[in-house]
C-alpha cells in the first residue's frame, strides 16, 4: 500500500492509500496524461518550466505509508506508519528511454515489480518488492544502498531518491511493466548501527563487496508447489478464455455451438471466492487442456487482485489452485459450464458491445419466431392431414405453446432464416449505424437497428 497525495509536491496530507493494482491502473491511463505529455515535451525542448508543472502532479510515498509526509528526525516516529513493502529507485539522464526500458526489463524483469517511464520521461521509475520489514531510516538506507551497489551497480541511479520519504510522481505509461509475484530479500545481518556523539544521530555502516552479490540479495524463486506468476499481458497472448468459433460471414453467423467462457464478476465478495475461483479453474483447464499451469494460475492471480475486495490471501490462493488443478489433472474430474450458443460474431466486425447486444437480440428474436411459427405450421398441417379441426386451442395443446403465442402467430408465414442472415451480412444493407464506415467498407447509413420487416422474410416455398 502507498500513501497517495492528490495536490502535488506541496501536499503533505495523504488523501488515501492505494495498492499496487490501483497504481498500475492509474499509470496505464493517467487522468493527467495530457499534462504529462506537455511536461515531457518541455523537457525535451530544455524548457525548465516542466519542473514547475511536474510539482503539481499527484504522487505517492513509494517506500512507506505515513500520517503526514514529514519524516525528519523526531517526526519519523510520529508520522511513519509502516513500510509499503516496496522500495523505489529512479534512473535519470537517459537519452533513449524506450530502448533503455526494454534493456532494463530484459535484465531485471525476473526481479523487479514495476518499471515505467518517469513522469518527465528522463528515465525510469522502478519498484522492487521486499520481503524485509523496514521500520527505521537506518534499515531503509542499508537496504537501498545494498541494492544500488550490488544488483543495480551497472545502472545510473539517482542518489536523490535515497530517502525513505521520497515521493514518486505518478507517471503515464500504457506499457508499464508489472510483475506481482517478484520479491527480493536483502541480507541485513551486517548492518551495524552506531551512535554518533557529535550530532546525536544514528549512522549506518554497511560493508559491501561487489564480488559477493549473492550474499546480499536473495531472490525469491518458486518451488514445485508455488506456481510462477507470468505478466498478464503475456498470459492473455496465450490463454484462451472462451470457445473460438470460426465465422464465415462478414459480420455474424447463426449456428449451434457448444460454448464455454470464463465469466468474471465485476466484484468478487467474501463467501464466494472459493466457488467462483474453482469454476474459473475448471473453465480454463477445459479451454486450455495442454497449457502450462502457470498461465492459468497467473490469470487467477490477476482476477484475485483486481476483482476481489479483499483479495484472497496468497497462501490460500495457491492452496486452492493446487488442490483444484491437481484434482482435474490426476483424476480427470473436470466440470466446465457449457451452453449452446447460436449467435457468433466475426472477430473483424469492430462493433461495440451495445451494438453486438442489439444485433444478437434481433437475430435471436427472429430465430425464436422462426421456431415458433414452424412448430405451429407443422401441427396445423398434421391436423389437416388427419382431417381434424384446426383450432388455436388444439394447436396450443399439442405444441405446448401458450394460447396467446399461438393466437399471435396462428396465421404467420414461415421466416426464411437464410435470408435474414444474408441481409444482416450484406454490405449494401446497413443494419447498424456507421457499421460499414468503421469496417472500412462501402455503403450508406441507416438508423441503428433498421432491418427488413419479418413479413419480407417469407420462406420461398410458401405459397404467398
DSSP 213: G
Nearest 10 degrees: CA dihedral of 15, 21, 25, 31? 10
Which of 41-45, 232-236, 308-312, 451-455 is least confident? 451-455
Rounded CA Rg of the chain: 31
Q: Are 115 and 183 in contact (CB under 8 A)?
A: no
Which of 76-90, 250-264, 437-451 is least confident? 437-451
The confidence score (pLDDT) of residue 173 equals: 93
Chain centre to alpha carbon of residue 429 = 37
pTM of the complete model beyond 0.85: no
Which of 185-199, 280-294, 313-327 is least confident? 185-199
Which of 267-271, 283-287, 324-328 is least confident? 267-271
The confidence score (pLDDT) of residue 271 equals: 78
Q: If you average pLDDT over residues 283-293, what whole number do you get?
A: 93
Q: If we measure between CA atoms, which residue out of 289, 251, 259, 286 comes closest to residue 432?
A: 251
The confidence score (pLDDT) of residue 50 equals: 87
Distance CA(281)–CA(287), nearest Å, equals: 10
Please list, in sequence order, all residues whose beta carbon lies within 8 angstroms of the beta carbon of residue 301, skipping any fewer than 6 positions away. Answer: 180, 181, 229, 317
- Given a cut of 70, whether residue 258 has pLDDT beyond it is yes
The confidence score (pLDDT) of residue 150 equals: 86
Which of 152-156, 161-165, 284-288, 449-453 is least confident? 449-453
Share of the chain above pLDDT 70, in %: 83
Q: If you average pLDDT over residues 274-295, what whole number do you get?
A: 92
The confidence score (pLDDT) of residue 134 equals: 83
Q: If you average pLDDT over residues 388-416, what whole number do you get?
A: 90
In this prediction, residue 451 has a pLDDT band, given cuts at 50, 70 and 90, of very low
Quick: pLDDT tens for 99-131.
Answer: 999 999 998 988 899 999 999 998 999 999 988
In this prediction, residue 320 has a pLDDT band, given cuts at 50, 70 and 90, of confident
Q: If you average pLDDT over residues 439-464, what whole number do you get?
A: 40
The confidence score (pLDDT) of residue 429 equals: 52
Quick: pLDDT tens for 3-16.
Answer: 999 988 888 888 88
- Three-class secondary structure of residue 281 per DSSP: helix
Distance CA(227)–CA(153), nearest Å, equals: 30
The confidence score (pLDDT) of residue 442 equals: 34
The confidence score (pLDDT) of residue 286 equals: 94
Quick: pLDDT tens for 334-368.
Answer: 888 899 888 888 887 777 878 888 888 888 888 89
Query: Scanning the structure block, which residue is given the C-alpha cell 530502448?
Result: 99
Distance CA(100)–CA(111), nearest Å, equals: 17
Q: Please, what is the average pLDDT of the chain?
A: 81
Sheet holding 168-169, edge to edge: 16-18, 2-5, 59-61, 168-169
Strands (E), 290-425: 339-345
Q: Are 344 and 252 in contact (CB under 8 A)?
A: yes
Taking the domains of the chain in order of start, what are their residue ranges? 2-219, 232-341, 349-457
The confidence score (pLDDT) of residue 199 equals: 38
By the 10 Å C-beta count (0-12 exposed, 13-18 middle, 19+ buried), 75 is classed as middle
Quick: pLDDT tens for 221-230.
Answer: 344 456 678 8
Quick: pLDDT tens for 176-221.
Answer: 999 888 888 887 665 544 333 333 333 333 333 333 333 334 433 3
In this prediction, residue 439 has a pLDDT band, given cuts at 50, 70 and 90, of very low
Which of 52-61, 238-247, 409-418, 434-443 is least confident? 434-443
Q: If you average pLDDT over residues 22-46, what whole number do you get?
A: 90
- Given a cut of 80, whether residue 78 has pLDDT beyond it is yes
- Given a cut of 90, whether residue 89 has pLDDT beyond it is yes
Kindly report whether the peptide bond that precedes residue 310 is cis, defined as omega within 30 degrees of 0.
yes
Q: If you average pLDDT over residues 268-274, what whole number do you get?
A: 84
Q: If we measure between CA atoms, which residue out of 245, 241, 337 comes closest to residue 298?
A: 241
Amino acid at each position: 500500500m502507498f500513501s497517495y497525495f492528490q495536490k502535488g509536491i506541496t501536499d503533505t496530507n495523504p488523501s488515501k492509500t492505494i495498492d499496487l493494482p490501483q497504481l498500475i491502473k492509474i499509470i496505464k491511463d493517467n487522468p493527467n496524461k495530457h499534462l504529462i505529455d506537455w511536461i515531457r515535451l518541455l523537457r525535451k525542448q530544455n524548457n525548465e518550466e516542466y519542473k514547475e508543472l511536474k510539482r503539481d502532479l499527484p504522487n505517492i510515498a513509494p517506500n512507506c505509508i505515513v500520517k503526514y509526509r514529514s519524516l525528519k528526525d523526531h517526526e519519523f516516529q510520529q508520522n511513519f506508519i509502516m513500510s509499503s513493502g516496496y522500495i523505489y529507485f529512479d534512473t535519470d539522464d537517459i537519452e533513449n528511454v524506450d530502448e533503455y526500458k526494454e534493456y532494463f526489463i530484459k535484465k531485471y524483469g525476473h526481479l523487479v515489480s514495476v518499471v515505467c517511464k518517469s513522469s518527465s520521461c528522463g528515465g525510469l521509475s522502478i519498484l522492487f518488492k521486499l520481503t524485509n520489514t523496514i521500520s527505521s531510516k537506518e534499515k531503509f538506507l542499508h537496504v537501498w544502498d545494498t541494492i544500488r551497489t550490488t544488483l543495480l551497480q551497472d545502472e545510473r541511479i539517482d542518489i536523490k531518491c535515497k530517502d525513505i520519504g521520497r515521493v514518486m510522481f505518478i507517471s503515464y505509461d500504457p506499457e508499464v511493466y508489472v510483475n506481482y509475484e517478484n520479491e527480493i530479500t536483502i541480507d541485513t545481518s551486517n548492518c551495524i548501527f552506531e551512535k554518533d556523539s557529535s550530532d546525536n544521530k544514528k549512522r549506518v555502516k554497511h560493508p559491501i563487496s561487489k564480488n559477493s552479490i549473492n550474499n546480499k540479495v536473495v531472490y525469491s524463486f518458486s518451488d514445485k508447489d508455488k506456481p510462477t506468476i507470468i505478466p498478464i499481458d503475456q498470459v492473455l497472448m496465450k490463454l484462451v478464455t472462451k470457445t473460438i468459433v470460426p465465422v464465415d460471414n462478414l459480420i455474424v453467423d447463426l449456428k449451434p455451438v457448444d460454448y464455454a467462457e470464463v465469466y468474471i464478476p465485476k466484484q468478487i465478495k467474501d463467501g464466494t471466492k472459493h466457488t467462483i475461483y474453482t469454476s474459473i479453474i475448471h473453465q480454463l483447464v477445459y479451454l486450455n487442456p495442454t497449457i502450462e499451469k502457470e498461465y492459468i494460475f497467473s490469470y487467477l492471480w490477476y482476477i484475485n487482485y483486481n476483482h476481489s475486495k479483499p483479495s484472497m490471501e496468497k497462501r490460500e490462493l495457491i492452496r486452492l489452485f493446487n488442490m483444484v488443478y491437481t484434482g482435474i489433472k490426476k483424476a480427470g474430474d473436470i466440470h466446465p459450464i457449457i451452453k449452446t450458443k447460436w449467435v457468433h460474431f466475426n472477430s473483424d466486425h469492430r462493433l461495440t458491445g451495445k451494438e453486438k447486444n442489439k444485433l444478437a437480440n434481433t437475430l435471436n428474436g427472429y430465430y425464436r419466431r422462426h421456431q415458433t411459427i414452424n412448430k405451429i405450421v407443422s401441427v396445423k398441417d398434421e391436423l389437416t392431414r388427419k382431417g381434424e379441426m384446426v383450432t388455436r386451442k388444439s394447436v396450443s395443446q399439442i405444441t405446448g405453446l401458450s394460447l396467446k403465442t399461438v393466437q399471435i402467430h396462428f396465421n404467420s408465414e414461415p421466416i426464411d432464416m437464410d435470408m435474414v442472415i444474408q441481409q444482416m451480412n450484406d454490405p449494401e444493407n446497413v443494419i447498424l449505424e456507421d457499421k460499414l464506415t468503421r469496417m472500412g467498407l462501402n455503403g450508406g447509413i441507416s438508423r441503428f437497428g433498421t432491418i427488413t420487416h419479418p413479413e419480407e422474410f417469407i420462406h420461398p416455398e410458401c405459397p404467398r
